[in-house]
Structure 1
Amino acid sequence: MLVLLVAGCAEQALPAQKGSTTQAIATQDEQVLRRWSQWNTSALPGTAYPELPHRDSCGPDPNSDLWFLDAQRVPGRDERWTCTLPAGRSLVVVPTGVVSPDQSICREGLNRLDSPLSAEGEAYVDGEPVVLQMGEPLQIAAADPVAAVAPQMYFCALWGIAGPLGAGRHTIILRNTVAEKTGTATVDVTVQ
């Protein structure tokens, strides 16, 4: 079993599924999380997505009006960075995630604190909580030596959409606990 943050994983495309309106909304949400995952890993050397535009802190989703906010790179460490974005945009925030070769273990890590892969997260904008949801497991391919051990991996994340944010300065807090290590990212956001 492995617990990793999103860094170091590149994502593989999965076949589209047909279904009800509820499934269509879930698929749309999954596509946003999938694009965030691709964007987030595009900054890493040797990934499958070097063509994607990436800023170290935040950047636009090329397929919507959303902006992506970077995730913490190391669990259990406090970090601080800045982000500047246009007024009226919302940010996709991912305070925590679990990577595992087993879908059920991936899901379990975000559902049960007594799991060996336990992970929990919170996000706040100017002190107000962001509503988070658990994304469906996304099939990914590790972009590091983990791939040699388990070439098929799954990424599960707690994520949400913050905003839209009005002009001015805002503070976003991403807090996560992964494998009993707690870290907080403070993001100073300027909306122009």
Structure 2
Amino acid sequence: MKKTIIKTAAVLLVLTMLMLGFATWRYPFSAFSLYHAVTFDQHNLLFTEYRKELQQFKNYYHNHKKQDDVTSDHVQYILQAYQIPFLTNDKAMKISIDTLDEIIAVLRKTRDDIVELAFTEKYDEETRNYLKLMLIDFLSLEEQAQHVKNASGDSRKVLHLQIRNLRTSMQSNLGHLATFYKLYIETTS
């Protein structure tokens, strides 16, 4: 009788460990997952193009930055959102709940900088429209990142797709910042 109980307990323990292992692998952000992280690899072609665009804008910004200018000062801080490791790291990286919390914090701070610009500075209509577009995009990015963070029932494949979409959306938003700043420089020079 004792041997049967021990064997049954051992089988149940092994099955439980296998189920936890499967849940951890298949559903990385689920409550049953042990690590709450997924490894994400950059797509080399998109990554290379993004790094090139980022460097071009950084060069433009440094060459045209105005001293003691509220917009130029804020763009410096907004630009930091495009330089986080999630966007610039060319190696595979673990995306965990903590990583997503950090991304969300950066997005919120950047959104706050954009809102401050919108309410403290005067821009022509086209420049203001790009600022508005950036604000809308950052609100959407925040929501997207929050959705990924709370995706406890999503499979590894779905999480990879959501993370790739988040990264691609953040990278494409760089063009809005570049256009906004170039229009600002052109209209104030």
Which structure shows the bigger proportion of residues in strand conformation? Answer: 1
Q: TM-score, normalised by structure 1?
A: 0.26
Q: TM-score, normalised by structure 2?
A: 0.26
